[in-house]
């Protein structure tokens, strides 16, 4: 590998979190993809952790929002500012050279959306920007030998999208991407609590419920949690207790959508590769794959064993790091620059 003066950065540009990977250092940044904007002055006040603290708590003239929706850029200007902030923070202000940046995009991304990512990165200070599809990076990060002739199925469940792909010989054989993942589950939990208990809860609380007591299948020994919110009838604060099996009911529809995406890809897979997948099982990556008993649900619905990859939330970011190390080899195989 030729030594390059230019620093390299891998960015996992997620709907809820941005991870920045520097080869040799590992993951140097792990912050929420939230930007706080002052409406009056139309200027960006805070990015990442600082901005996330403001979500749902800001006075009227400050809006904290996520520039990425369902894994793609919803607000171009803000995404660019966010990328600039992260690139600068990862490299330090003394860096004179523009970095080569590799960014992950969902499997179902259109060429326009892909161009938007490349443009935003170049404007934010990248010398070269490469976009690679998330399932490929997730597979590399999970340690799957993607260049083999054997088939591997990877399911990357993030905040905004669930990407399902079958990979063989370094390419995607069959894939789909559904806009239903961690965030959709949070909304489903909040809606369920609103319907059954007339209690309004915020996104943060819903996410907490999912992490603390959520499960993909009903359990015998339920976990219970105290949920605090605002009563819709009286307008006053109130708290209720909720158990695991209620949460299972709340997110049934969303989990069905995710499982159906997996079934669709399995149905498109050539028979030889399908046999490999039965042997290797389904590998799950992404933060939302950590939901309790999700592998069990996948097995029950598809008949294929599933397992969660090691360091699942960081697989895509690690994959960008690996791909950057062997940039020239991967350039030919997987990167479509424009």
Q: Determine whether the annotation assigns residue 58 to a binding site.
A: no
User: In the chain, how long is the greatest CA-to-CA distance?
Assistant: 67
241 annotated ligand binder: no
Flag whether 141 is marked binding: no
CA–CA separation, 326 and 338 (whole Å): 20
CB 174: neighbour CB atoms within 10 A?
20
| CB within 8 Å of 85: residues ≥ 6 apart | 47, 48
Q: How far apart are CA 183 and CA 284, in angstroms?
A: 17
Residue 41 marked in a binding site? no
Secondary structure of 14-57 in HEC code, one letter for each residue? CCCEEEEEECCCEEEEEEECCEEEECCCCEEEEECHHHHHHCCC
Whose structure tokens read 């007591």?
Answer: 213
Q: Does 93 belong to an annotated binding site?
A: no
Check whether 208 is labelled as a binding-site residue: yes
209 is in an annotated binding site: yes
Residue found by looking up tokens 């960008």 in the block? 320
Is 289 labelled as part of a ligand binding site? yes
Residue 229, annotated as binding a ligand = no
What lies within 8 Å, CB to CB, of 280 at 6+ separation is 150, 151, 152, 153
Say whether 161 counts as a known binding-site residue. Answer: yes
Q: What share of the chain is helix, strand, coil (3-state, %, to 5)?
A: 40, 30, 30
Q: How are beta strands 8-13 and 100-105 bridged, if at all?
A: parallel
> Does 210 count as an annotated binding residue?
yes
Annotated binding site: 159-161, 207-210, 287-290
Annotated binding site for ATP: 159-161, 207-210, 287-290
């Amino acid at each position: 590998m030729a030594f390059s003066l230019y620093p390299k950065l891998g960015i996992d540009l997620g709907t809820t979190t941005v991870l920045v990977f520097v080869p040799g250092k590992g993951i140097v940044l792990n912050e929420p993809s939230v930007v706080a904007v002052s409406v009056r002055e139309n200027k960006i006040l805070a990015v990442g952790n600082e901005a996330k603290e403001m979500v749902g708590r800001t006075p009227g003239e400050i809006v904290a929002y996520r520039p990425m929706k369902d894994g793609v850029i919803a607000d171009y200007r803000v995404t660019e500012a966010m990328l600039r902030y992260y690139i600068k923070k990862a490299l330090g202000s003394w860096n004179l050279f523009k970095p080569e940046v590799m960014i992950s995009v969902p499997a179902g991304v259109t060429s326009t959306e892909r161009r938007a990512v490349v443009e935003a990165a170049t404007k934010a200070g990248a010398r070269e920007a490469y976009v690679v599809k998330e399932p490929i990076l997730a597979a590399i990060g999970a340690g799957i030998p993607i260049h083999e002739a054997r088939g591997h199925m990877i399911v990357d469940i993030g905040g905004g999208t669930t990407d399902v792909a079958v990979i063989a010989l370094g390419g995607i054989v069959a894939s789909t991407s559904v806009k239903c993942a961690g965030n959709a589950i949070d909304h489903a939990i909040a809606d369920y609590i609103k319907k059954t208990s007339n209690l309004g809860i915020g996104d943060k609380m819903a996410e907490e419920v999912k992490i603390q007591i959520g499960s993909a299948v009903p359990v015998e020994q339920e976990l219970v949690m105290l949920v605090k919110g605002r009563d819709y009838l009286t307008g006053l604060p109130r708290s209720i207790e909720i158990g695991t099996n209620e949460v299972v009911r709340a997110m049934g529809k969303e989990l069905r959508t995710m499982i159906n995406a997996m079934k669709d890809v399995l149905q498109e897979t050539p028979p030889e590769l399908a046999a490999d997948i039965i042997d290797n099982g389904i590998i799950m990556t992404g933060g939302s794959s950590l939901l309790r008993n999700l592998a069990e649900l996948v097995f029950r619905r598809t008949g294929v064993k599933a397992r969660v990859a090691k360091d699942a939330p960081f697989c895509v970011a690690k994959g960008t790091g690996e791909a950057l190390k062997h940039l020239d080899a991967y350039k030919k195989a997987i990167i479509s620059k424009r």
